[in-house]
Amino acid sequence: MNQGQTELIFLLQQGDESAFRQLVDAYEGMVYNTVVGIVQNEADADDVTQDVFIQVYQSLHSFKGDAKFSTWLYRIAVSKSLDHLKRKKRKKRFAFVQGLFGSTGEVVTDPPDFNHPGIVLENKERAGELFKALERIPENQRVAFTLHKLEGISYQEIAAIMNTSLYAVESLMGRAKSNLKKILKDYYEKN
């Protein structure tokens, strides 16, 4: 952690509100990009991003500097994102049964309702397919893939964020790529 970050965290731990504004300004984009990559909905990502910074404000006193500040922040962002998805799934389960089925009897799913800041305009259609496919792979694979491919985070830092080993992250990425390849095969054969 650099001198400026150390001082900022010290000021935050002392309750300095202007330091908190600096923290939000410095990390808001990173947190939002991570969250939107996981929850795949812009409005939800805004809400979860706010929740992340509320959590940061409330638990900053517990940050000891054992890990990089960004790693600690990513952990909170990933955790809040996954909590949000779990709550959303629970709400869907208890929704009125007829609301879950379309006119053809097929289960209705929420299409990705967002534009990830890292996706170039001409790649929007393919990105939409990728994000639909990401919803179909296991949660831990989706998190590892999102952090590495969309956020550019190294396997080493992902291991720290996910509180797992480097080998486990490599394995998650291998399985994520394999699963995505199987899911996306039909899309690319048609196009």
CA distance linking residue 133 with residue 142, whole number of Å: 10
Instruction: Please tell me the pTM assigned to this model.
Output: 0.73
User: The tokens of 187 are what?
Assistant: 């899309």
Q: What is the mean pLDDT of residues 92-97?
A: 50
CATH number of the 3-95+110-190 domain: 1.10.1740.10
**pLDDT over 70 for what percent of the chain?**
79
110 pLDDT exceeds 80?
Answer: no
pLDDT in tens, 130-167: 888 888 899 999 999 989 988 889 999 999 999 999 99
CA distance linking residue 81 with residue 9, whole number of Å: 24
Tell me what the pLDDT averaged over the chain comes to: 81
Number of Cβ atoms within 10 Å of the Cβ of 32: 20
Q: Name the residue among 84, 71, 93 with its Cα closest to residue 35.
A: 84
pLDDT in tens, 11-46: 888 888 888 899 999 999 999 999 998 998 899 999
CA distance linking residue 184 with residue 175, whole number of Å: 14
Contact at 8 Å (CB) between 12 and 60?
yes
**pLDDT over 90 for what percent of the chain?**
42
